[in-house]
Structure 1
Amino acid sequence: MVLKIGLVGCGAIGTEIAKAIDRGDIAAELVAVFDRNEERARELVRRLEIRPEISGLEGLVELSEVVVEAASQRSVPEVARAALERGRDLMIMSVGALLDGDLYRMVADLAKENGCKVYLPSGAISGLDGLKSASAGKIELVTLTTTKNPKGFSGAPYIEDMQIDLAAITEPAVIFEGPAEEAVSAFPANVNVAATLSLAARGARVMVRIVADPEIDVNVHQISAEGDFGRITTKVENLPSPQNPKTSYLAALSAIATLRSIAEPIKIGT
């Protein structure tokens, strides 16, 4: 049977997922889409050969086997409850929301009670399989350094709260340093990978440094992890999404790869 997918959020990542399904890159059917901005949903559907239904959240859940959240951290509680209470599997792109302990427990409990799976793609980073393996032992510290062009941080709550003039940055500048829990709320559209690292590390300390560099046109994520296993270091230089410079294109590809893994019988990697 073809996997039936409902998509919540028709922005940069949601659009890439929809187009991949439409091309046949995923053995699935996009049965419904939902976006608070209905015109954005209509625009996405118009661009597809096989056009899904434009639905409200409840209707989308009823039509789907897997619900994909690609909207925002704010949407995660509502989407998770709607999907999991009805026994639907769920893929969450806005992973930063799950660093709220109460929300994480709610999602985990609902998934267990209703026999569901919750999928968290690795996003715009590499090495997550190694980190998951290392978490079976003891991880002492994980550090993430994210470097982007200043325009990629435009509109972030931290930038606005601190009144940082991004246009005035003329050389690489550290604009934030702190734990993952603070980073994901300060930069909700930029560092969901910090939350993914924190969850994969199973409670190990994850520190985040954010650098604005006007000379680069890629999004760089460098990760270092230390523990009784040794040391892991990875670096990825991502091209920004053509539709949204705040998002790395690899994050969308990660979502597509995760959906492929759900639909296909053979799983590769940890």
Structure 2
Amino acid sequence: MFKIGIVGTGAIGKEIARAIDDGTVPAELVAIWDRQVGEAEEFAASLKQKPKVLPLKELVKECYIVVEAASQAAVREVAVAALTNSKNVMIMSVGALSDKKLLDEIEKLAREHHCHIYVPSGAIGGLDAVKSASIKHIDCVTITTRKPAKGLKGAPFVVRNNLDLDKFTKPTEIFSGPAAVAIKEFPANVNVAASLSLVGVGFERTIVKVVVDPTISRNIHEIHVRGDFGDFHAKIENVPSDTNPKTSFLAALSAIATLKQVCEPLKIGT
């Protein structure tokens, strides 16, 4: 049975841990880690499998795959620690991979140590179609993210521009630009744009639009891709996480589905 360790016990990390603990993912949760050690210990005690609470350096030695569910800032430390110990890693804070130097570094480590980097599809659908389309020429990729005010509060772009999101009375586009910029301006909101960029036309050519929408209660992502294959449109309306309105419940479910695919013999999808 595969042994899994999780770094980060926020909303997504806990959801993944519970799915391993209840058998949804056919694996063993052997260790978790969070900077809030007391909270991590309390959470570990609530699980049937009773994972150890171990610092990163010790955690990676116990696992077959290490799940990063902490933050963009933690990605490099977690990925390097896992890969240099010849352990697979799954990255949830995929926006960090807009840093080409980091991406090149961890890809090189994965090749040298014969292991894998897994990136779940997150809160969007259609990545399999975009990945297939990218085999030939793609003209354009656009993703429009619509969120209620509470889902965008605290974003660097919002803070720097002194935007009072509660004053918007109708859907309003507050940002449009390349994914490379959007990921820095909305690090907790547009990780999906990073995944889309990685499988499509890159971070500079993928266009991200962010809309604050007081008329909705769900996080909505709309994707448009045009290329040699034809035209592709996808729209998904996500229920926000109960404990973190900035992220969608589907993001955690995609991580769980990815782990299931790693652990099971049958692989479906592009």
Q: What's the TM-score, normalizing by structure 1?
A: 0.98
- Equivalents in 1 of 2:170, 2:43: separation in Å? 38
- Equivalents in 1 of 2:73, 2:248: separation in Å? 20
- After superposition, the C-alpha distances for 1:33-57 in whole angstroms (9 at most, x for unaligned) are 0111213312321331221000100
- Structure-2 residue corresponding to 1:77: 76
- Equivalents in 1 of 2:170, 2:10: separation in Å? 31
- Equivalents in 1 of 2:180, 2:106: separation in Å? 18
- Equivalents in 2 of 1:192, 1:39: separation in Å? 28
Letter in 1 for 2:212: A
Letter in 2 for 1:268: I
The gaps in structure 1 that reach 5 residues or longer are: none
- Structure-1 residue corresponding to 2:178: 179
- After superposition, the C-alpha distances for 1:137-171 in whole angstroms (9 at most, x for unaligned) are 01111000000111001111111111111121221
- Structure-1 residue corresponding to 2:262: 262
Letter in 1 for 2:231: R
- Equivalents in 1 of 2:188, 2:2: separation in Å? 29
- After superposition, the C-alpha distances for 1:85-127 in whole angstroms (9 at most, x for unaligned) are 0000010000000010100000100000100100000000011
C-alpha contact (below 8 Å) 1:140/1:205 kept by paired residues: no
- Structure-2 residue corresponding to 1:3: 2
Q: Is the aligned partner of 1:122 residue 2:121? A: yes
2:188 alignment partner, SS class: coil
- Equivalents in 1 of 2:259, 2:239: separation in Å? 21
1:106 alignment partner, SS class: helix
- Structure-2 residue corresponding to 1:144: 143
**Two-structure CA RMSD over aligned residues (Å):** 1.0
Report % sequence identity: 54
Q: Is the aligned partner of 1:193 residue 2:199? A: no
1:190 alignment partner, SS class: coil
C-alpha contact (below 8 Å) 1:66/1:90 kept by paired residues: yes
The gaps in structure 2 that reach 5 residues or longer are: none
- Structure-2 residue corresponding to 1:170: 169
Give the superposition deviation at 1:58. 0.4
1:234 alignment partner, SS class: strand
Q: Using the TM superposition, name which of 41-50 and 247-256 deviates more.
A: 41-50
- Equivalents in 2 of 1:87, 1:122: separation in Å? 24
Q: Is the aligned partner of 1:239 residue 2:239? A: yes
Matches within 5 A, 1:37-76: 37-76=36-75
Give the superposition deviation at 1:202. 4.3
Moved over 4 A (4+): none
| Residue correspondences, number | 269
Letter in 1 for 2:240: P
C-alpha contact (below 8 Å) 1:69/1:76 kept by paired residues: yes
C-alpha contact (below 8 Å) 2:123/2:192 kept by paired residues: yes
